[in-house]
Amino acid sequence: MKDENEVILKALVGSRAHGLADEDSDYDYRGVFVQPTETILCLGAKYKANSWFEGKEDQTMYEIGHFLYLATKCNPSILEVFKGPRIYEDNPYPPQEWNGDDFGHELKCLFPYVWNPNDAFNAFVGYSSNQRKKLLDKKDDRGPKFACAYLRTIYNLECLLATGDFRLDVNHNPKLHQQLIDIRNGEFKPGAVIDEVEERIEKCKILRDNSNHKPDLEKVNKFLLKMRRQFWNG
């Protein structure tokens, strides 16, 4: 039983999780908290869906219900939380084995059950297209950042549709890693990046159409109800 919001999962995301950071890169975190159930159900309740803090360390936290809803819609920023390196603030030496009472671990294990091929394709392509628009609009003079995100997002989609999983860090793919480092350093031609992304999107269409992966929303909802019971003081 809990009396206040409790963070059950915090993950490193952004360039430091992607293996693309330099010495000036910020630390970006996203996480999940659970709001006490009685504060959600009481008269006149105001549901807190997320919180956000920006600084040298940017942090975005999502309430568990909102987080899982967005996960089932395959929001790329949300799915990254499942895959980002976990941050253990209370214990710098996390246990090597799950002790059976780790809600963050249970949450991460839901990843196979939240996503579906059609929504994943639409969400990732939509996010990537937004990065392309920012690149072409020269938004904030941060073309390399947007070009990296444009390509990397579609690469993650391709991996997800092909294998049922993806990794945030790109170090496991030396060719892609070097390509993204070059882009980060401004050594790229927008047209060439666009052509590659469009080619990868066509591959993703085929992978989507051939995918047999099915989500399990009943399992996801069962976990959410478990959290509501666990965080109920009424």
Concatenate the DSSP letters of all residues of 40-84 into one string.
Answer: HHSTT-----EEEE-SSEEEEEEEHHHHHHHHHTT-HHHHHHHHS
Select 6-114+216-230's CATH number: 1.10.150, 3.30.460, 3.60.90, 1.10.10: 3.30.460
> What pLDDT digit, counting tens, does each position of 157-198 carry?
999 999 999 999 999 999 999 999 999 999 999 999 999 999
CB 106 within 8 A of CB 82: no
For position 133, what pLDDT does the model report? 96
For position 127, what pLDDT does the model report? 98
> What pLDDT digit, counting tens, does each position of 14-67 carry?
999 999 998 888 899 999 999 999 888 888 877 778 777 666 678 899 999 999
d(CA 115, CA 117): 7
- The CA-atom distances, in angstroms, between 174 and each of 108, 167, 189, 232 are 27, 14, 20, 48
Domain residue ranges of the chain, discontinuous segments joined by +: 6-114+216-230, 117-210
For position 89, what pLDDT does the model report? 66
pTM of the model: 0.90
